[in-house]
Amino acid sequence: MKKKITFIGLILVLSVFMTQSCHKDLPSLDRTANGLVVSRSYNWKTPQYSGGPSMTGSYFMSPIYYNGNIAVPTIGEGKQYMTLLDSDNGNILWKWSDLFQPDTEQIDIYYYYQQGNLLTYQKGNRSYCINMDTGTTQWKFRRDMFFDVRIQKENDNYISYAPIINTDGNSEQVAFKGNINTGEISSFLSANISSSYISPIGVGGIVYLNQLPDQEDLLLITYAEPLPDWKVNSFFGLYNRQTGTWIWDRKLISPPTVNSSVFTPPQFCDNKIVANVGKKLVCHDIATGDQLWSKSFAQDFMFSGFVIAEGKIVANCEDGYTYGIDPATGTILWQTRSAGTSGRMSYLNGVVYFVGGSTGKLHAIDVASGRMLWAIDATNLGEGDDDFRENGVYILPASSEHSDRVVALTYKNAYCFNAER
């Protein structure tokens, strides 16, 4: 059967080409006197908003990749979408918007679990699983309880968290194991809670569960217990899921204060556990659970968190500085005035990239020296008064089609730039 190209189809093809082509009028690089890049030409841009009633955009805290392409949040005709873009040219491959509440629900993805061609995320009592090959729904459920947004890997399953009423009649947050193929869930693990104090919200429970690198049987458990006056005790425990026993447990992360919660998942570095708890960064020994060092800061790391790269902890603090820290000792190696409240960082070739929520700029910092390399202003790209969004920044390693690239989003467009190096 012969294929026919309709007039409308031809217009759409031309429109996509025009909106996604490189902006030839921009300077290849626009630097300040001290060498800071504030504008640069882009390889492609793709609209994030395609008409209809104005709506607040969805948000992906971390970048989502599939087969070398990228999934981004978009808006069109009053609907929110997850949209898969071809990373080579920005062309749209598919759009998904099979939501339980399509008129009001945003696709806010703070954590997700991806296995093969399936991706699942949690929002309240709504669970979604998307087939990344086709952009269709694999399954979706309205659960009979509200789950936390945190989803993490556990072998070939995923872990999510929800409160249950335990045998003492108290509310306790436990880990549930989920099957990504079917969406079936079952209770999996509880923390070793003392139950010495019961707050209006319960006795506490699991906050994060991390599988140790190259140790499928060992799980690092981060959990919390409420105390009077809104203080919190946070603990680490190391659990052997094969034997059902604790290797060590109840290792206090920080003295209890009103700001002693662990905000982001702990990370591993050279047989050490690194975490941010309240206004501190801490480091514990994996073998014993003992704390090796603790470093206090003026503010917390709730929004941007930290990455471990080039043998350093690179952490964005709410005090307006980005820090490079020695994971062996907690010593500050450098600090750079940056953006305070920011999106999560992405790393490529000795550089971390992130969007500063307080500045609205796309930042790049050299990990070795702490030197600010980029502070790209979206207004220099013709975005009017719009800023870059705090959505995750996408890293596209070099391929046969292109050099190393970085993709960041404004409220209007996705921009693809050549990476710093």
Going along 327-404, which residue ranges are E strands? 332-337, 346-348, 351-355, 362-366, 372-376, 394-396
pLDDT confidence of residue 335: 97
Nearest to 273 by CA among 293, 300, 254: 293
Question: Is 248 exposed, middle or buried, given 0-12, 13-18 or 19+ CB atoms closer than 10 A?
Answer: middle
Chunked mean pLDDT (size 10), the chain, 421 residues: 36 37 54 86 92 75 97 91 96 97 91 96 96 98 95 88 90 95 94 83 87 89 90 93 94 86 91 94 97 96 94 96 97 96 96 95 97 95 89 93 93 94 91
**Tell me: the pLDDT tens digits for 269-282?**
999 999 999 999 99
pLDDT confidence of residue 55: 59
**CB proximity list for 1: less than 8 A, separation 6 or greater:** none
pLDDT confidence of residue 272: 96
**CA–CA distance, 340 with 318 (Å, rounded to integer):** 4
* pTM (global) more than 0.75: yes
Which secondary structure element, helix H or strand E, spans residue 83, and what is its range? Answer: strand 79-85
pLDDT confidence of residue 168: 85
Nearest to 296 by CA among 273, 319, 271: 319
User: Amino acid letter at 220?
Assistant: L
> What residues form DSSP beta bridges with 307?
314
Exposure string (b/e) for 340-358, b if CB count within 10 Å is 16 or more? bbbbbbbbbeebbbbbbbe
Where are the alpha helices (H) located in 109-248, listed in sequence order?
none
**Residue 14 carries which DSSP code?**
H
Nearest to 279 by CA among 305, 299, 262, 304: 299
pLDDT confidence of residue 56: 64
Cβ–Cβ < 8 Å for 381, 23: yes
Q: DSSP string covering 237-293, please?
A: EEEETTTTEEEEEEEEEEEEETT--B-S--EE-SSEEEEEETTEEEEEETTT--EEE
**Tell me: the pLDDT tens digits for 259-317?**
778 988 999 999 999 999 999 999 999 999 999 999 999 999 989 999 999 999 999 99
**CB proximity list for 170: less than 8 A, separation 6 or greater:** 195, 198, 202, 203
Helix and strand tally (H, E) in the chain?
Answer: 1, 35
pLDDT confidence of residue 28: 67
> What residues form DSSP beta bridges with 45?
415
For each of the domains in the chain, give its residue range(s) and CATH number, in order of start.
111-149+151-264 (2.40.128)
Nearest to 266 by CA among 237, 245, 287: 237
**CB proximity list for 411: less than 8 A, separation 6 or greater:** 48, 49, 57, 386, 387, 389
**CB proximity list for 17: less than 8 A, separation 6 or greater:** none
**CA–CA distance, 202 with 367 (Å, rounded to integer):** 42
pLDDT confidence of residue 52: 67
Question: Is 182 exposed, middle or buried, given 0-12, 13-18 or 19+ CB atoms closer than 10 A?
Answer: exposed
